């Protein structure tokens, strides 16, 4: 089975290595890209082309029923790729937030040390009175 040309063209626009593959073994469309290695549970063998492929998406619904290749598949793939790239930015934001928290913790520590030294100096340099000394 061959995918429609408009679908393949838009899929290449999302990512140039991806292509749709009909797997007779499963009776479903897979969105895949080529690989040189064979890894159990990650890659599939395409008997038509004789290549190992990494499966990015299995085109199916929640109940594992096959779905046709349409705009909804492309939109899902675009969203998936967007959020994969967005995670990098989220990590940078978390690093920035962590730096700010660390700077604030250092400031609190420094302020606490100053407060302690101020009171330590006051207690060590002032005279104390002992009433009724024993």
pLDDT, tens digit, 9 for 90 and up, residues 12-65: 988 888 889 888 888 999 888 888 888 777 778 877 778 888 888 888 888 888
Is 122 a member of any domain? no
Domain assignment present for residue 44? The answer is yes
Q: Report pLDDT for 86.
A: 65
Burial 51-86 (b: 16+ CB within 10 A, else e): ebbbeeebbeeeeeeeeebeeebbeebeeeeeeeee
Residue 130 inside a domain? The answer is no
Residue 53 pairs in a beta bridge with: 34, 44
pLDDT tens track for 82-116: 777 665 555 677 778 888 888 888 888 888 888 88
Tell me if 77 is assigned to some domain. Answer: no
* Containing structural domain, residue 23: 5-69
Domain assignment of residue 91, yes or no:
no
Residue 134 clears pLDDT 60, i.e. is over it: no
Residue 49's pLDDT is what? Answer: 78
How many domains does the structure of the chain reveal? 1
pLDDT of residue 85: 67
Q: Which residue has the higher pLDDT, 121 or 70?
A: 70
């Amino acid at each position: 089975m061959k995918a429609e040309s408009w679908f393949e063209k838009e899929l290449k626009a999302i990512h140039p290595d991806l292509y749709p593959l009909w797997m007779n073994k499963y009776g479903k469309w897979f969105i895949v890209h080529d690989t040189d290695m064979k890894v159990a549970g990650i890659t599939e063998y395409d008997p038509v082309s004789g290549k190992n492929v990494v499966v990015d998406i299995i085109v199916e619904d929640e109940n594992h029923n096959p779905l046709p290749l349409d705009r909804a598949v492309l939109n899902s793939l675009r969203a998936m790729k967007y959020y994969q790239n967005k995670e990098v930015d989220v990590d940078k934001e978390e690093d920035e937030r962590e730096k700010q928290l660390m700077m604030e913790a250092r400031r609190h520590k420094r302020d606490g040390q100053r407060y302690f030294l101020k009171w330590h100096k006051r207690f060590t340099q002032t005279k104390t009175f002992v009433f009724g000394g024993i």
